Amino acid sequence: RLKLDIGLCISNSTDGASNMQGQYRGFSALMASTNPTHLHVWCYSHVLNLVLAETAHSVIESGSLFDLLNDTAVFIRESYTRVSVWETEPRQKAQTHVV
């Protein structure tokens, strides 16, 4: 439908769900069979989201953690200076730790 050449897709990122990760019929297996140099990358943000969602359903105290995280996000977003530091600091640290 979208006329995409799947052979040009060099990688994909999933959370490891069986329909995506299946060894024989999952999306990653399909991509690897189409392009032997295909690279699969775990999406740890999605995995973390799944873990946090499950934690929130099973632990009452997690509500205060999420309130703290939300308050922190709001605090950072309210200032262009803080947002700039938030965006540039990890990049600078990553560049100094390149092996």
Mean pLDDT for the chain overall: 79
Please say whether the beta carbons of 13 and 31 come within 8 A. no
72 against 32, higher pLDDT: 72
Count the neighbouring beta carbons within 10 Å of the beta carbon of residue 47. Answer: 13
Q: What is the DSSP letter of 28?
A: H
pLDDT for res 56:
75
* pTM of the entire predicted model: 0.38
How far apart CA 20 and CA 22 sit, in angstroms, is 6
Say how far apart CA 73 and CA 83 lie, in whole Å. Answer: 10
For the stretch 21-43, pLDDT in tens is: 666 677 778 888 888 888 877 77
